[in-house]
A = this chain, B = another copy of it.
Amino acid sequence: MEKSLAQISEYLGGELVGDPATKISGVAPIEEARRGELTFLANPKYAPFLKTTSASAVIVGRDASAEGIKTPLIRHANPYFAFARAVELFAGAKKVYPESVHPTAVLAEGVELEKGVHLGPFVVLESGVWLRHNCTVLAGSFIGENSSVGEGCLIYPNVTIRENVEVGRNVIIHSGTVIGSDGFGYARETGVHRKVPQIGGVKIEDEVEIGANVTVDRAALGITRIGKGTKIDNLVQIGHNVDIGEGCIIVAQVGIGGSTRVGDNAVLAGQAGLVGHIRIGKQVVIGAQSGVTKDVPDGTTIFGYPAREIHKTKRIEAHLSRLDLYVQRLKEVERALKEIRQSAR
């Protein structure tokens, strides 16, 4: 497929700078793009490539400097988003899974399948499972009793969804992920850890995406909730009764302790850990590997182990880099004092 830059720019709603007849036949990252390919520049780290790229055109921000750049540009308010749409344009339609139930799938009594459902080989649906329109459940995935999966969901191979889980619309769940495993709850009695029954459920709201090998525990009582449009990366742990708001970004290997609440549009960077029973406000940003043990007010950016407001952690880090020097200066002061005292005698 080949398109003119004019066509692409119009499709993306961008402003074209350069030859509208430029032919584009594909998309690529800026450091790898070759002649005939379209690329983009959003992360300033990659700005030097703008001068050296072999791409035939680059999507850039409205205000990006184009000094000395001869490559045709498409200016756009959101270059990363525009590029994503360009990728779709060239990648062709998303894979469509036809309505079909693989003959090896095992469906218990009382399973309800709406129109357009696709079940791969070795899928197991227990009794009372309800799959809504155009759901796709791929090979080897398991859905337990009375769980339901909303319209247009895509469940990749080897996913486990336990009983009494409610999945909303257009949710994507990647391979190896486990939804609804028992929460980690024990009461110590006569020297032994007695299991506290975990009889609650899980609710995954619309438009959520959950990465590979993630674990979302079911509630002890009530529900564990992942709010609408929240995106979760791989290997994340969500404890029982956690409540995650809408539009959050949770990066790989984050762990969230039981009953913690995370506000809407929060961003949790990779490997951050949150203890249980705390409240993280809306729009909070938590830096990578941070250790969070206290409530965090709305809109705060925190970082560190233990997590502090980011400017505090940054100041501490700067001081730590100079700690050697401070200790020298302290010794110097002590020496000077000693001299003063000796000369005063």
Contacts and interface: CB of A to CB of B under 8 A. Distances in A.
Contact of A217 (B140, B172, B229, B234): B234
Interface in A281-333: 288-289, 291, 293, 305-306, 308, 312, 315-317, 319-321, 323-324, 326-327, 329-330, 333
Interface residues of A, number: 114
Interface string A126-150: 0000000000001110101000000
A252 B207 CA distance: 26
A253 B252 contact: no
Contacts of A211: 181-182, 184, 215
Contact of A187 (B80, B209, B233): B80
A193 B291 CA distance: 26
A120 interface: yes
A62 B80 CA distance: 58
A182 B189 contact: no
Contact of A121 (B27, B106, B320, B337): B106
Interface of A: 27-29, 32, 43, 45, 78, 80-81, 83-84, 87-88, 91, 94, 102, 104, 106, 120-122, 124, 138-140, 142, 144, 156-158, 160, 162, 172, 174-178, 181-182, 184-189, 191-197, 199, 207, 209, 211-215, 217, 220-222, 229, 231, 233-235, 237, 239, 241, 247, 249, 251-253, 255, 257, 259, 270-271, 273, 275, 277, 288-289, 291, 293, 305-306, 308, 312, 315-317, 319-321, 323-324, 326-327, 329-330, 333-334, 336-337, 340-341, 343-344
The 3 closest A-B pairs by CB, nearest first: A81-B187, A160-B175, A181-B212
Given A158-B158, A193-B229, 13 more contacts: A29-B259, A83-B187, A156-B162, A157-B160, A158-B160, A174-B181, A176-B215, A178-B212, A184-B252, A213-B213, A330-B333, A333-B333, A333-B334
